[in-house]
Amino acid sequence: MYNCTLFGEDYSYLVPLLLYQKENGHVHSRFANGFNIKMGDSLIFIGNKKNGLLPFGIHLREENTFTAVSSVNNGDSVTWNGSTNSIELPGVTISIEKGKSFKNQLTTLKSDTIFKDSLERFCLQLIEIEDRTGLDISLKEFLKKYYASDEQNWLGAESYLIMLMEAAESRDEGLIEKVLRYFLGRGQGLTPSGDDMIVGLLAFDAVSHFLSASFYEKVSELIEGESITTDVAREYLRYALKQEFSSTVSNMVNALADGDATNFEKVFHDLIGVGHSSGLDTILGILLGMLTFKKLK
């Protein structure tokens, strides 16, 4: 006997296929904004829209999120009931019967002029940010050093940012692996800062297409072949490799790609607001993508 049924308002178009492939699983991780269930080797997020619409998400109304989170515990059994389109847990049932399917669409970079204008607008926003990323990097200081006319002596994590830009324009598998091993899994939280940054880099590539196939292959090889990062970060990276991102990330790179100045500040601050430092880490990855793309022009 289930306590109550809650209805998801929005769900990723990819979720039903995942549920039909693996009908049994368990609650993987639980937090204030929702919880993840693990079905086979895939995670599905059930919760609110605070961090945007996720490519593996079922999103509930805010008032229902509290009820859902309060009704589950890590390790609870999960069963997908295909006849009722609902996820059954010991304390609650989540139905997608009345929900609306979504896909976070991406656009393509329109022109060199738009890119130049977007990079300038982006950098002007970044130099106003006082906060440091999860890897203790100041975007303001990094940009100041990067654009300085004199030769820089890059140290610590910043030296790896420069190396990541070199790897991003390279097909040198040794270099790509070295820099990915530095960033993947580096930092605290469910999605470590280094992983969020790689997601940002992949997001800008999704609208501009400058990364090599070798880069994509090496990311996939490392996250699938080793326990190099957290389960949640791995899931975001898996989707990023398929050019599927949360709406906060998609909206940001779309604004950069189509030069939408009217919506720019809103989507920028929506992304900055994600997680403790996840949004800022992702922003740094997008910046590295833009700076690499500029070098290749």
Edge-first strand order for the sheet with 42-47 is: 5-7, 93-95, 86-88, 77-81, 24-31, 34-39, 42-47, 57-59, 10-12, 100-102
Contact between 100 and 247 under an 8 Å Cβ cutoff? The reply is: no
290/17 Cα distance (integer angstroms): 34
Per residue in 112-160, pLDDT (tens digit) is 999 999 999 999 999 999 999 999 999 999 999 999 877 778 888 999 9
86/82 Cα distance (integer angstroms): 7
Question: What pLDDT tens digit does each residue of the chain (297 aa) get?
Answer: 447 999 999 999 999 999 999 999 999 999 999 999 999 999 999 999 999 999 999 999 999 999 999 999 999 999 999 999 999 999 999 999 999 999 999 999 999 999 999 999 999 999 999 999 999 999 999 999 999 877 778 888 999 999 999 999 888 999 999 999 999 999 988 899 999 999 999 999 999 999 999 999 999 999 999 999 999 999 999 999 999 999 999 999 999 999 989 999 999 999 999 988 999 999 999 999 999 999 887
pLDDT for res 145? 93
Domain boundaries, the chain: 5-102, 112-296
Per residue in 217-249, pLDDT (tens digit) is 999 999 999 999 999 999 999 999 999 999 999
Angle at 264 between CA 260 and CA 266, to 5 degrees: 140
Q: Report the amino acid identity of residue 264.
A: F
